[in-house]
Amino acid sequence: MLTLNKRKYSKSELLALSQKNDQTTWQQSFYNFIKTWLDENNYVEVKTSGSTGTPKIIQLEKKRMIASAKATGDFFDLKPNDKALLCLPCDYIAGKMMVVRAMVLGLNLYSVEPTGNPLESVENEGFQFGAMIPLQVLNSLKNHRNRFENIEKMIIGGGVVDSSLLNKLQTVQNQCFATYGMTETITHVAVKTLNGEQKSNAYQALQNVEFSQDNRDCLIIDAPYLSENQIITNDIIKLYSKSNFEWLGRFDNVINTGGIKVNPEQIEQKIEAFIQDDFFIASENDEKLGSKVILVIENEGKIDTDLLKQQFKTVLSKFEMPKEIYVLPQFKRTETGKIQRKQTLKSPE
């Protein structure tokens, strides 16, 4: 039923393991999901991340999760007995789907504590597949580069791969991919190659997935194996074909300043080289412009904002330039570490 850390476990053995009382919190989460997966229900209840709104519980049909696992296996050419590293929490869909892929594809799953430095407890042995968030990748490159490079295919999700991390990935020997997806799409429906000869700015659809746009230029996903209905997103894209697109930003983040629409995510890409801390672009009301662009930086000390403004002039238009720069000691974040822009602006701490 599941090969875990080199040993095959039957359904009864897995259920017995889930009853043990000496497990840590992350192990409990892991075995609780296995118990849920093996029960008689035809669905799994999953919590959304809350990065774009209030977290909620949704039901995903198991048959669709199986189809998603097979689509990933086909895209990455995963074979039975390939070794896969699970270092994400099973509280959310990304961790759950690593377990499902192992069961459905017959992978040899290695489960370790989902810390910010997950390779600390992993021996320097080869894996064919793994999944991490950007912070885990950054720490792994810093502390355990050889172990990271011994994971042949690494998918990176749960956050944006910024230019600094992207540059670091150009020097590694393994294949790294950014993923596009959400809880509602049962993780990724598209993948972007981040390094090597196939490096691209565009996401490539998994098999049997097609893309289109609505009148807002937002992505529409047509994936019958995931949903009978089209999935309409708030992600602004540049559509190259039914199977390729470039992500530009979130429609609900777009700022109309003086009649000109600007995209916060594109501004962030232009200025990220000048800022060492976490930050984001947002807006606030303005009598003349309607809305004005602001920059919010996470830092407990002082920042030379005048210097930043001078640097920004080299890359930003006058409408993109932040009219105010705010420095906050701590941002609001989801349980998975994503910055909550609106909540941070409402109740800064």
pLDDT, one tens digit per residue, over 318-342 is: 999 999 999 999 999 887 778 888 8
User: What average pLDDT does this structure show over 278-297?
Assistant: 94
pLDDT at 51: 57
Phi, psi values for residue 43, rounded to 5°: -140, 165
Q: Is the pLDDT of residue 348 over 50?
A: no
pLDDT at 50: 59
Per cent of the chain over pLDDT 90 is 82
pLDDT at 53: 58
What pairing do the DSSP bridges indicate for beta strands 83-86 and 108-111? parallel
CB 224 within 8 A of CB 185: no
pLDDT tens per residue, range 16-70: 988 887 889 999 999 999 999 999 999 999 987 655 556 788 999 999 999 999 9
- Could you tell me which residues come within 8 angstroms of residue 22 by beta carbon, excluding any fewer than 6 positions away? none
Type of residue numbered 182: M
pLDDT at 48: 79
pLDDT at 347: 56
94-to-16, 97, 114 alpha-carbon distances in Å = 24, 5, 12
Question: Cα(27)–Cα(152) distance, rounded to whole angstroms?
Answer: 25
Pick the closest to residue 107 from 74, 71, 82, 125 (CA basis).
Answer: 82
The two structure tokens encoding residue 175 = 């294949």
Per cent of the chain over pLDDT 70 is 97
Alpha carbon dihedral 50, 52, 58, 62, in 10-degree steps, equals: -100
pLDDT at 55: 73
Type of residue numbered 289: L
Q: Is the pLDDT of residue 107 over 90?
A: yes
State the Cα angle at 344 between 342 and 349, rounded to 5°.
160
pTM as predicted: 0.89
Question: Cα(157)–Cα(191) distance, rounded to whole angstroms?
Answer: 10
More confident call, 334 vs 192:
192
User: What average pLDDT does this structure show over 276-300?
Assistant: 94
Helix 93-105 × helix 62-76 angle, to 10°:
70
pLDDT at 54: 67
pLDDT tens per residue, range 120-159: 989 877 999 999 999 999 999 999 999 999 999 999 998 8
What is the overall mean pLDDT for the chain?
93
Question: Cα(16)–Cα(155) distance, rounded to whole angstroms?
Answer: 31
Cβ neighbour number for residue 78 with a 10 Å cutoff: 22
The two structure tokens encoding residue 239 = 């559509």
pLDDT tens per residue, range 239-256: 999 999 999 999 999 999
Q: Is the pLDDT of residue 349 over 50?
A: no
Question: Cα(132)–Cα(116) distance, rounded to whole angstroms?
Answer: 9
| Residue 265 pLDDT level (bands cut at 50, 70, 90) | very high
Tell me, letter by letter, the H, E, C secondary structure of the chain. CEEECCEEECHHHHHHHCCCCCCCHHHHHHHHHHHHHCCCCCEEEEECCCCCCCCCEEEEEHHHHHHHHHHHHHHHCCCCCCEEEECCCCCCHHHHHHHHHHHHHCCEEEECCCCCCHHHHCCCCCEEEEEECHHHHHHHHHHCHHHHHCEEEEEECCCCCCHHHHHHHCCCCCEEEEEEEEHHHCEEEEEEECCCCCCCCCEEECCCCEEEECCCCEEEEECCCCCCCCEEEEEEEEEEECCEEEEEEEHHHCEEECCEEECHHHHHHHHHHHCCCCEEEEEEEECCCEEEEEEEEECCCCCCHHHHHHHHCCCCCCCCCCCEEEEECCCCECCCCCECHHHHHHCCC
User: What average pLDDT does this structure show over 8-20?
Assistant: 90
CB 153 within 8 A of CB 129: yes
The two structure tokens encoding residue 339 = 């910055």
